[in-house]
């Protein structure tokens, strides 16, 4: 039997980070091999243990220290990945991706990975509408990154408008579409 699709999922420091837990669950239901990398900020919102348990793999956060032995494994995963997904993606990580900054485990693994990149942003409406974020969005789209549009509605910050993480089942469908177009079906 062919290996299941290997998905790298980056989770960043957004209030929507808890919704990535359901995203992992839906991916596992599809039979995908899911490996999660969190930013340090993301761990302020959801514990590593949640993603470790749902994905059935260790979760990477740190580049240095006790986890360092595990880093080569992540570089190996960057080579093996069929799709790299970042959901939710903060304004900060969008900006880093646009500039090619690689100052933590997630962003350095993104640069090391040649698989298609799917990014689902989530942020406050003013962060989303900020010219810097909109300029970064255009840069990433022009580079071929599959940007999933934010949803509109009530935001955790109390505002109304665009900025919500897209529905997670829709994110899974986008990833499935990318896998199908690469001929890598579960």
Ligand X SMILES: Cc1cc2nc3c(=O)[nH]c(=O)nc-3n(C[C@H](O)[C@H](O)[C@H](O)COP(=O)(O)O)c2cc1C
Q: Which residues are catalytic?
A: 157
The three-point CA angle 96-171-35 to 5° equals 65
The footprint of ligand X on residues 47-86 (CB under 6 A) is: none
Record the tokens describing residue 99, joined without a space. Answer: 């500039």
Least distance in Å: CB of 110 to ligand X? 12
The footprint of ligand X on residues 154-173 (CB under 6 A) is: none
- Closest by CA to 9, choosing from 93, 72, 127, 66, is 93
Least distance in Å: CB of 24 to ligand X? 17
Per CB under 6 A, does 127 bind ligand X?
Answer: yes
Q: Which residue, 98 or 179, has its beta carbon nearer to ligand X?
A: 98
Locate all alpha helices (DSSP H) within the chain, ordered by sequence.
19-29, 42-45, 48-55, 71-80, 91-99, 105-112, 125-129, 131-142, 168-181
Q: Which residue, 14 or 55, has its beta carbon nearer to ligand X?
A: 14
Per CB under 6 A, does 43 bind ligand X?
Answer: no
Q: Which residue, 42 or 98, has its beta carbon nearer to ligand X?
A: 42
Range in contact with ligand X (rule: CB under 6 A) among 7-15, 21-29, 60-68, 166-174: 7-15
Residues 5, 142: Cα–Cα separation, whole Å: 26
Range in contact with ligand X (rule: CB under 6 A) among 23-31, 34-42, 53-61, 74-82: 34-42
Residues 126, 183: Cα–Cα separation, whole Å: 39
- Closest by CA to 7, choosing from 62, 86, 81, is 81
The 83-122 contact track toward ligand X, x by CB under 6 A, reads -------xxxx----------------------------x
Chain centre distance of CA 89? 6
> Which residues are near ligand X by CB under 6 A?
12-16, 39, 41-42, 90-93, 122-123, 127
């Amino acid at each position: 039997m062919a290996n299941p699709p290997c998905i790298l999922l980056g989770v960043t420091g957004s209030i929507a980070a808890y919704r990535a837990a359901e995203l992992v669950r839906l991916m596992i239901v599809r039979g995908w091999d899911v490996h999660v990398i969190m930013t340090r900020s993301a761990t302020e919102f959801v514990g590593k243990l949640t993603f470790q348990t749902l994905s059935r793999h260790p979760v990477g956060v740190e580049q240095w220290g006790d986890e360092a032995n595990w880093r080569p494994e992540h570089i190996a995963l960057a080579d093996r990945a069929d799709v790299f997904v970042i959901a939710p993606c903060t304004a900060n990580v969008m900006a880093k991706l646009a500039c090619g900054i690689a100052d933590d485990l997630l962003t350095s693994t993104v640069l090391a990975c040649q698989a298609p990149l799917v990014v689902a942003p989530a942020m406050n409406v003013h962060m989303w509408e900020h010219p810097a974020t909109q300029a970064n969005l255009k840069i990433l789209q022009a580079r071929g990154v599959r940007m999933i549009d934010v949803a509109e509605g009530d935001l955790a910050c109390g505002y109304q408008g665009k900025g919500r993480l897209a529905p997670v089942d829709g994110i899974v469908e986008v990833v499935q579409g990318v896998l199908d177009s690469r001929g890598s079906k579960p």
